Amino acid sequence: MDKHYLTPLFSPQHVLVFAASAEHAEEAYAHVQAQVLRDNLTAQRFTGEMTFVDIHTSGTLADLAHTRADLAVISLPHAEVAAALEVAGRMKCKAALVVSSGIDADLSSDLKRIARRSGMHLLGPNCLGFQRPLTGLNASVAGPMAAKGPLALISQSGALTSSILDWAAKNDVGFSTVVSLGPNTVVDLAEVLDFLAADAHTQSIVVYMEGISNARRFTSALRAAANAKPVVVLKAGRKPAGNAAAKTHSGTIVGSDDVFDAALRRAGAVRVRSFVELFSAAKCLASRYRPVGKRLAIITNGGGPGVLAADWISELGLELAQLSPGVAEELKPKLGPLATTSGLIDLAEDASPESYTAALEAAAKDGQVDGLLAIHSPKIGGDADAVAKTLAELRPKLRKPLLACWMGDASVGAARKTLGEAGIPNFRTPEAAVGAFSNIASFYQNQQMLLQTPPPLSTLAKPDVEGARLLIEGVLAERRNVLTEMESKALLAAFHIPVTQTILARSASEAMMIATQLGYPVALKIDSPDISHKSDVNGVALNIANATGVRDTFNDMMQSVSRQCPQAHINGVTIQKMAPTRRGREIYIGLVTDDPFGPVIAFGAGGTMIELIADRAMELPPLNQFLAHRLIERARVSTTLGEWRGAAAVDITAVEQILLRVSEMVCELPQLREMDINPIIVDEHGAVAVDARIVIEQSTQSTSHYNHLSILPYPAHHEQNWPMRGGGQYTIRPIRPDDAQMLQALVKSLSPESRYFRFVSSLTELPPGMLSRFTLIDYDREMALVAIHKTREALPDGTFNETERIVGVSRYVTNVDGTTCEFALLVADDFGGKGLGSRLMLSIMEVAREKGLTEIEGLVLTNNPGMLRLMKSLNYTVKPFAEDPDFRLVSHPL
Q: Using DSSP, state whether 405 is helix, strand or coil.
A: strand
Q: What is the pLDDT of residue 243?
A: 47
Amino acid at 521: P
Please state the rounded mean pLDDT for residues 631-653.
90
Whether 247 has a pLDDT exceeding 50, the answer reads: no
| Spatial separation of the C-alpha atoms in residues 589 and 601, rounded to whole Å | 7
Place 366 in a pLDDT band, splitting at 50, 70 and 90: very high
| Spatial separation of the C-alpha atoms in residues 79 and 103, rounded to whole Å | 10
With a pLDDT cut of 90, the percent of the chain lying above it is 56
Of 252 and 527, more confident: 527
Whether 40 has a pLDDT exceeding 50, the answer reads: yes
Q: Would you tell me the crossing angle of helices 384-394 and 413-421 to the nearest 10 degrees? A: 10
Place 224 in a pLDDT band, splitting at 50, 70 and 90: confident
- Please report, to the nearest 10 degrees, the dihedral formed by the alpha carbons of residues 719, 724, 728, 729 taken in order: 0
3-state SS string over 721-757?
A: EEECCCCCEEEEEECCHHHHHHHHHHHHHCCHHHHHH
| Spatial separation of the C-alpha atoms in residues 681 and 97, rounded to whole Å | 58
Please state the rounded mean pLDDT for residues 19-45.
76
Q: What is the pLDDT of residue 266?
A: 92
Residue 647 DSSP label = B
Q: What is the CA radius of gyration of the chain?
A: 32
Please state the rounded mean pLDDT for residues 205-222.
88
Residue 482 DSSP label = B
CB atoms within 10 A of CB 320: 17
Q: What is the pLDDT of residue 17?
A: 92
| Spatial separation of the C-alpha atoms in residues 625 and 654, rounded to whole Å | 11
Q: Using DSSP, state whether 840 is helix, strand or coil.
A: helix
Of 54 and 637, more confident: 637
Q: What is the pLDDT of residue 854?
A: 95
Whether 237 has a pLDDT exceeding 70, the answer reads: no
> pLDDT tens, 473-524?
999 999 989 998 889 999 999 999 999 989 999 999 999 999 999 999 999 9
Cα distances from 828 to residues 42, 73, 466, 742, 774, in angstroms, run: 52, 48, 42, 12, 17
Whether 63 has a pLDDT exceeding 80, the answer reads: no
Q: What is the pLDDT of residue 253?
A: 40
Whether 140 has a pLDDT exceeding 90, the answer reads: yes
Q: What is the mean pLDDT of the chain?
A: 88
Place 25 in a pLDDT band, splitting at 50, 70 and 90: very low
Please state the rounded mean pLDDT for residues 586-615.
88
Q: What is the pLDDT of residue 22?
A: 54
Place 19 in a pLDDT band, splitting at 50, 70 and 90: confident
Q: What is the pLDDT of residue 525?
A: 92
| DSSP line for 860-887 | EETT-HHHHHHHHHTT-EEEE-TT-TTE
Of 289 and 727, more confident: 727
| Spatial separation of the C-alpha atoms in residues 313 and 157, rounded to whole Å | 32
Q: What is the pLDDT of residue 245?
A: 42
